[in-house]
Amino acid sequence: MQEEVNNGPITQDNNDELYERFSITIDKGQEPLRIDKFLMQRLEGATRNKLQQSINLGMVTVNGKDVKPNYKVKPGDNVIIFSDMSPEETDIVPEKLNLDIAYEDADLIIINKPAGMVVHPGSGNYSGTLLNGISWYLQQQTPGISEDALPRFGMVHRIDKNTSGLLVLAKTDKAMRHLAKQFFDHTISRKYVALVWGDVAEDEGTIVAHVGRHQRFRKLFEAYPEGDHGKEAITHYRVLERFGYVTLVECILETGRTHQIRVHMKHIGHPLFNDDFYGGDKIVKGTVYSKYKQFVDNCFDICKRQALHAKTLGFVHPATGENVLFETPMPADMATVIEKWRKYSNTVGSN
């Protein structure tokens, strides 16, 4: 998205739904002005205190370099803000929850999120979220930690409520900055496993189509292959196993748009199995005979959500500089349904 604000253009890129990156090129007629004051005039909802904090954390760069709050912008400067300058979200109440922590060190935490858990509080979900649990966990680790440090602490990305798998959270400001930049630069390695309807024709391929909100139904997202709406989105896929009426695929995200895999797979005619948002919660391929319908309904009962799992997550460790890769096994609901389809396809194939 690009828009004109005052003298110069601001471009904004959403990535993984949480953070935003603002890019501003200073206009030729701009008088020298402290960067914190300049940004207060340009970013809706920003306060001087929040801006100064972001600048001190290195979340604001000028021409690719860190600056101090008293830096005076000049014509031609390129200012990038790696932050969310919107007003603070709902307060987070710490709750003791069962969290599956796959890895933890002094800089970050890797969480294996179960399907059904919302990442952070919002409309209709003010408790039981991952951040409620993380807030309580951090309080136990750091007694006396300020409540102000808990909301959205360390979050640099998220996955859908009914998608399972790996998430990374930063435990330090430096780690959060480092990881946020990797997401913005699309250098994070993310592999998902999905069960989709239909026999995918090609063994591998790439889906390129903008993803944006549906023009009529605002809770849904839509693929816009002509690029007339939404934001650029690229998904690489590879077939792992074929079961006739459904296919197990691996998806690698090059970008991280809302519902990207779900929207892209629907776009090429292969909605995710039991995805009630995008038409996968009914028989898309196959017969409507009673035994087959009963089999599919049984699979729906076992895997009560879209069959999508964030299996691997790789990035450069913010402290060591080493490439790290984390992997989590398939959750029981998806594993059971995949095995049922495997047996079913073998039975049908042998008849």
Q: Is 160 a catalytic residue?
A: yes
Question: What residues form DSSP beta bridges with 2?
Answer: 11
The Cα 154–Cα 177 span in angstroms is: 9
> Which SS3 state, helix, strand or coil, does residue 299 take?
helix
> Which SS3 state, helix, strand or coil, does residue 271 take?
coil
Question: Could you please report the per-residue DSSP string of 63-102?
Answer: TTEE--TTPEE-TT-EEEEES--SPP------------EE
Please list, residue by residue across 77-113, b when 16 or more beta carbons sit within 10 angstroms of its beta carbon and e when fewer do. Answer: bebbbbbbbeeeeeebebeebebeebeeeebbbbbbb
Question: Could you please report the per-residue DSSP string of 120-173?
Answer: S-BTTB-SSSHHHHHHHHHHHHSTT--GGGSTTTTB-----TT-EEEEEEESSH
What is the 3-state secondary structure of 8-21?
EEEEEEEECCCEEE
Catalytic residue among 36, 107, 160, 275: 160
331 CB neighbour count, 10 Å cutoff: 17
The Cα 131–Cα 90 span in angstroms is: 11
Question: What residues form DSSP beta bridges with 254?
Answer: none
- The residues annotated with a catalytic role in the active site are 160
